[in-house]
Amino acid sequence: MQKIAFVFPGQGSQKPGMLASLHEVYPEIGQTFEEASDVLSLDLWSIVSGNPEGLLDQTHITQPALLTASIAIWRVWAARGYAAPGILSGHSLGEYSALACAGVLSFPDAVRIVHQRGLYMQEAVPSGTGGMAAILGLEDSKVEEICQAVAGSSVVAPANYNSIGQTVIAGEKGAVERAMLACKDAGAKRALPLNVSVPSHCALMRDAAEKLAADLGNVKLSPARISVVQNVDGRIALTTDTIRENLLKQLYLPVQWVSCVRTLCENGYHMLVECGPGKVLGGLSKRIDPQIQTFATEDAESLADAAKSTA
């Protein structure tokens, strides 16, 4: 039997109507969203279903919505006794989903924390002053060099090392635009601005990390029941102190997704189940290591296929 890893998506994987087919079939979906709604005192499933006033794309709503979606799918999987993963990892926000599934964070605490995390991230940078962009087809070292060269007194730096030849940069809007142009001049295949409300995983998020530190300090973290590979260093977290510290660093340091996936592979995990909406992590992971098999769980059909293929 192959060893199975679960990976959990972050912001960008949300979409109105996500998990609709799962909601029709599995009671755990509705139950999990009801629990999250009680924590936040709002109807999270209605927001996910209809996206009134674009709420689903506001960071403080996006984060608990995606976390809840991932936990709901995890509960569906576990309740039916499907193949248990031996290791977990998540991209950015997805790391909180992984930690909740590993028993490090309780589900209510995780919902509260990511909601606050989203608020702090929005408060850290005035609307319209930050930006992010995906740089395709340029070596990481060259992207780093360009960011340093064009920054001046502004902030721009790699934010996500997503796959081989795909690096996301983040910072102040003008600096990000300068870096995009310089990357194109240096031979990047594409430099694409991302439609995001905050520039994540860069120095502009240090204020958000300081605020989040108080919240995380008041939350109980339990030893992980399943190993979790964290974003900031691509390593398996060994203590709750390390987990707490890395969650704060994750706000202002880049997501080392390439390192995370390589750690999974080095530990013998070449079968990845993406626990949440979308297929983004599956695509990125295959580009990091073509030997990887990936399975989506975003709808009833794909979840059934994943369960059958990993049995």
Asked if 156 and 179 touch (Cβ cutoff 8 Å), the reply is yes
Q: What percent of the chain has pLDDT over 70?
A: 100
Whole-number pLDDT of residue 172 = 97
* pLDDT level of residue 178 (50, 70, 90 thresholds): very high
Task: Please state whether beta strands 130-136 and 190-193 pair in parallel, antiparallel, or not at all (unpaired).
Answer: antiparallel
Domain(s) labelled CATH 3.40.366.10 in the chain stretch across 4-124+204-309
**Cβ(307)–Cβ(80) under 8 Å?**
yes
Q: How confident is the model at residue 47 (pLDDT cuts 50, 70, 90)?
A: very high
Tens digits of per-residue pLDDT, 69-128?
999 999 999 999 999 999 999 999 999 999 999 999 999 999 999 999 999 999 999 988
Distance, in Å, from the CA atom of 237 to the CA atom of 249, rounded to the nearest integer, reads 14
Helices 27-40 + 59-79 axis angle, to 10: 140
Q: What percent of the chain has pLDDT over 90?
A: 96
pLDDT at 1 over 90: no
Q: What is the per-residue pLDDT for 41?
A: 98
Q: What is the pLDDT of residues 197-246, one digit of tens each?
A: 899 999 999 999 999 999 999 999 999 999 999 999 999 999 999 999 99
Provide CATH code, domain 130-196: 3.30.70.250
Give SS3 for 71.
helix
Is the alpha carbon torsion for 67, 70, 76, 78 positive or negative? negative
Name the CATH architecture for the domain at 4-124+204-309.
3-Layer(aba) Sandwich (3.40)
Residues in CB range of 179: below 8 A, 6 or more apart: 133, 135, 143, 146, 147, 150, 151, 156, 169, 171
Whether residue 138 has pLDDT greater than 80: yes
User: Are 269 and 258 within 8 A, CB to CB?
Assistant: no
Q: Where, residue-wise, is CATH 3.30.70.250 in the chain?
A: 130-196
Q: Where does the pLDDT of residue 196 fall: very low under 50, low under 70, confident under 90, or very high at 90 and above?
A: confident
Mean of pLDDT over the chain? 96
Banded pLDDT at 195 (limits 50, 70, 90): confident
**Which residues participate in catalysis according to the annotation?**
92, 201
